[in-house]
Chain A
Amino acid sequence: DAKTTQPPSMDCAEGRAANLPCNHSTISGNEYVYWYRQIHSQGPQYIIHGLKNNETNEMASLIITEDRKSSTLILPHATLRDTAVYYCIVRRSYNAGNMLTFGGGTRLMVKP
């Protein structure tokens, strides 16, 4: 699976949009981009995933560049409860099972 690069930490003001970038320049055509977050001492929480089109759900939006070498997770109105470590993960779309390769992630701090 392709490796990802994320900034180690980011701050965001409460109520503002949080934009979390991820580089995955070696991604191949059959690999999805997944985002998870982990709030302190809890299990990772699935947020969203996509292949090449932008995706939106009740939690966030995922914007994938046309060349698929990078993506941005957008939390439209960050709250204090969104403070967590956010992981961007790339994995193939078939016969991948449950194996996820977690990198260092981005520690997002939402401030009042």
Chain B
Amino acid sequence: ETGVTQSPTHLIKTRGQQVTLRCSSQSGHNTVSWYQQALGQGPQFIFQYYREEENGRGNFPPRFSGLQFPNYSSELNVNALELDDSALYLCASSLERQGSGNTIYFGEGSWLTVV
């Protein structure tokens, strides 16, 4: 158990729709990030939030957006869904701490299928 929980575990959406995925970080963790993992590939970094502000982003378009709340929970929003957005979406959290190499813990992910 990593203490990182995600919901929903599975969902199906239609092309053009919008989706919101949720993540509850491990208690005390101040940094949360989101990854996309297409079938047969490694996870790809989408973005991360630190103290409720986005402070790092991978090569994903603006229709991928997020929020981090004061209790360190987080949401990933994807607008105008495309078929290629079908993937496992992973949330990861950590406590940013210099000099010790912080440990990043992942949730079990949310499987999104776009039809």
The interface on chain A, measured as residues whose beta carbon lies within 8 A of the other chain's beta carbons, has a size of 25
A93–B103 CB distance below 8 A: no
Quick check: B93 and A93 within 8 Å, CB to CB? no
Query: What are the residues of chain B within 8 A of A49 when measuring CB–CB?
Result: 101, 103
Kindly state the separation between the CA atoms of A95 and B48 in the bound complex, as whole angstroms. 12
**B71 lies within 8 A of chain A by Cβ:** no
Residue of A nearest to B46 (CB): A99
Interchain nearest-CB distance for B67 vs A (Å): 16
B81 close to A (CB within 8 Å): no
Contact between chains at B107 and A100 (CB < 8 Å): no
Range class of the B interface residue count: 20 to 34
Residue of B nearest to A49 (CB): B101
A105 to chain B minimum Cβ distance, whole angstroms, is 6
Contact: B56 with A93, CB < 8 Å?
no
A87 surroundings in chain B (CB, below 8 A): 42
Whether B24 is near chain A, meaning CB under 8 Å from some CB there, is no
Report whether over half of chain A's contact residues are helix, strand or loop; otherwise say mixed. loop
Q: Is the CB of B43 within 8 A of A97?
A: no
**Residue B33 interfacial (CB < 8 Å):** yes
A97 touches B96 (CB 8 A): yes
A43 within 8 A of B: yes
- A51 CA to B53 CA in the complex, in Å? 29
Residue of B nearest to A33 (CB): B101
Residues of B within 8 A of A (CB): 2, 4, 31-33, 42-45, 48, 50, 55-56, 58, 88, 90, 92-94, 96, 98-109
Nearest 8 interchain pairs by C-beta: A102-B42, A98-B33, A43-B106, A32-B101, A43-B108, A44-B106, A94-B98, A97-B48
Q: What are 20 A-B residue pairs whose CB atoms fall within 8 Å in the complex?
A: A43-B90, A43-B109, A45-B2, A46-B103, A49-B103, A51-B101, A97-B31, A97-B33, A97-B48, A97-B50, A97-B96, A98-B45, A99-B33, A99-B56, A99-B58, A100-B45, A100-B92, A102-B44, A104-B42, A105-B42
Given contacts A42-B108, A43-B2, A94-B98, 5 further A-B contacts (CB under 8 A): A44-B43, A44-B90, A45-B106, A97-B56, A103-B42
